[in-house]
Amino acid sequence: MSINRRDFLKKAGVITALGLGGAITLDAFEILEPLKAADFTSPEGLADKRWALVIDMSKIDQATIDEVIAACHDLHNVPDMGNAKDEIKWIWTDSFEHVFPGEENHYLDETTKKIPFLTLCNHCDHPPCVRVCPTQATFRREDGVVGMDMHRCIGCRFCMAACPYGARSFNYWDPTPHIKEINPDYPRRSKGVVEKCNLCMDRIDQGKEPVCAEKSNGAIVFGNLEDPNSAVRELLSTNYSMRRKPELGTQPSVYYLIGGEERA
């Protein structure tokens, strides 16, 4: 990120004031406004890419689900709070009727009704969470990744209210005691901070795919929507796909393939 010392101190002062309960004024927003998507995008020339995931539900079984969730949560120091009320999740499962509420019908086949759908942040083209964040702790990169700088987060939870997919969690308690084995290569959060899936943007910047795709045994395919020859484009052009709540106009970058091979 290109920023001089004076601008940095201004931004730090605004964030501190907001975190201490200071008034959110127009001047405060003007100071924070200069941050752009390019500031958070890797210098590796990723601006011509639009990353996406395609989840093939015909290849999902419980063992794959368990491996994917464990790999994601272990890598990113996601705590296990031990109860649903305080649950912190980056990737999880839910039923078809909750994942696709507008698509539920009385004649849906029983198999589809019962299978667990992997669910995560949709990394939208038009993310409402970014628009409402007063400190720009949530941002959208030029390659489509919606990330978070959790050190800028003041815990206002505007993003949680704005996200129509329930993709964010709030740390009501200090998460550190609830992490089984801490990964020293990924930052830990503190009490009062929101967090979510960041599409493994640090791995992407190293030329790797997200860990959920790596550990999915081919059930989750990662690739560039801007490349007509990419694996995700091939799947989307040859299969019927679904996205969550398309009527909202957020343009999710997570696609689901339903049907095909017999499920395990």
SS (H, E, C) 201-257: HHHHCCCCCCHHHHCCCCCEEEEECCCCCCHHHHHHHHCCEECCCHHHCCCCCEEEE
- For every one of its 264 residues, what pLDDT tens digit does the chain have, with 9 covering 90 and above? 444 445 545 555 554 554 444 444 444 444 444 445 445 555 554 557 999 999 999 999 999 999 999 999 999 999 999 998 999 999 999 999 999 998 777 777 877 878 899 999 999 999 999 999 999 999 999 999 999 999 999 999 999 999 999 999 999 999 999 999 999 999 889 999 999 999 999 999 999 999 999 999 999 999 999 999 999 999 999 999 999 999 999 999 999 998 654 444
Count of beta carbons in the 10 Å neighbourhood of residue 115 = 18
Checking DSSP bridges between strand 138-140 and strand 146-148, what pairing results, if any? antiparallel
Is the Cα torsion angle 133, 136, 137, 138 positive or negative in sign? positive
**What phi, psi does 52 have (nearest 5°)?**
-150, 160
Is the Cα torsion angle 147, 152, 154, 156 positive or negative in sign? negative
Inter-residue contact 18 to 134 (CB < 8 Å):
yes
Give the span between the Cα atoms of 126 and 131, in whole angstroms.
9
Is the Cα torsion angle 29, 144, 250, 147 positive or negative in sign? negative
**Hey, what domains does the chain have and what are their CATH numbers?**
35-49+62-209 (3.30.70.20)
Q: Which amino acid is at 82?
A: G
Give pTM, 2 decimals. 0.81
Residue 92: both structure tokens together: 């999880």
